[in-house]
Amino acid sequence: MTFYKYQGTGNDFIIVDNRLQIIDKNNTKRIAELCDRRFGIGADGFILLENDVASDFKMVYYNSDGNESSMCGNGGRCIVAFAKFLGIIKNKAAFHAIDGLHKAKIENNIVHLQMQDVNEINVYSQHLFLDTGSPHHVEMVSSLNEYNVKEKGAAIRYGEPYGKAGSNVNFVEQISNNQFAVRTYERGVEDETLSCGTGVTAVALAMHKTAKALTNEIHLKTQGGQLKVSFLADANGYKDIWLIGLAEQVFKGNIEW
């Protein structure tokens, strides 16, 4: 099997061209083995690019535990870069993922990925909850650099009210009027990742919802680098949401499936 390794602000993925249906998608054990950083290639997720009759291609995404998962924003940006590398697209794309159709464009190697509209944000006393293609808990903290994200995130991810399905957990600290630092605990990875695309999208909308950010273009500093989220807000919620940042091919190789 020929595979490619991509990263978007440190969120890394194994991507395979599966247009010829060479991969047994039920072999979740093998997917988990390939994502293992000691015994496999190592990645936060595993992505298949497949043919789609209604768009340029289809994205099938698996968490590093081998299970097919909800939308991955950085993975979406990486598969767009991969599609350009394969010659499937030039600088614009439309593709289907588990949460529906996404549009994307590439400008000067920066990948802009349009996310789904968000019409509901639940605001609680200590946190917010919203779905940006994946479920996200958003919580403001102080001294984010020293925060125990793995321990605190795991407690929230498995705790009430999220139940067995769980939620991704984002801890946020404000840097300036439209800039925020974010650290994310991802379900399926069951650890902190260097960046989470749907997570920073959730944070941007949550900060605007609570008037901590007053602009519709918000900068997010993750452990793996800088991302930007832009959007339009109205009485019905948020639309025309774009996740923006670098996505790069790291290497390619061959491995037994």
Same domain, 191 and 176: yes
Q: What beta strand segments (E) does 108-200 contain?
A: 110-115, 121-123, 128-131, 135-140, 168-176, 179-186, 191-193
pLDDT digits (tens, 9 = 90+) for 197-255: 999 999 999 999 999 999 999 999 999 999 999 999 999 999 999 999 999 999 999 99
**pLDDT value at position 59?**
98
Could you give the number of structural domains in the chain? 2
Percent of all residues in the chain with a pLDDT value above 70, rounded to a whole number: 100
Q: Is the pLDDT of residue 160 over 90?
A: no
Q: In this structure, is the dihedral angle defined by the CA atoms of residues 28, 32, 79 and 224, taken in order, positive or negative?
A: positive
Same domain, 233 and 250: no
Same domain, 138 and 225: yes
Same domain, 59 and 150: no
Indicate the DSSP class of residue 117: P
Indicate the DSSP class of residue 65: T
- For residues 253 and 71, give the distance between their C-alpha atoms in angstroms, rounded to a whole number: 26
**pLDDT value at position 171?**
98
Same domain, 125 and 235: yes
The mean pLDDT value of the chain amounts to: 97
Same domain, 103 and 212: no
Q: Is the pLDDT of residue 164 over 90?
A: no
Same domain, 110 and 194: no
Same domain, 139 and 224: yes
Give the helix, strand, coil percentages of the chain, each rounded to 5: 20, 45, 35
pLDDT digits (tens, 9 = 90+) for 18-50: 999 999 999 999 999 999 999 999 999 999 999
Q: What is the pTM of this model?
A: 0.96
- Distant-in-sequence contacts of 99-105, Cβ < 8 A, 24+ apart: 99/70, 99/71, 99/133, 101/54, 101/55, 102/76, 104/76, 104/77, 104/80
Same domain, 234 and 135: yes
- CATH number of the domain that 110 lies in? 3.10.310.10
Which residues have a catalytic role annotated? 72, 196
> Averaged over 78-88, what is the pLDDT?
98
Same domain, 166 and 71: no
Q: Domain range holding 192? A: 121-239
- Asked whether 181 and 144 are in contact (CB, 8 A), the reply is yes
Same domain, 93 and 146: no
| Helices vs strands, H then E, count in the chain | 4, 17
- Asked whether 56 and 88 are in contact (CB, 8 A), the reply is yes
**pLDDT value at position 165?**
87
Same domain, 110 and 134: no
> Which backbone phi and psi does 115 adopt, to 5 degrees?
-95, 170
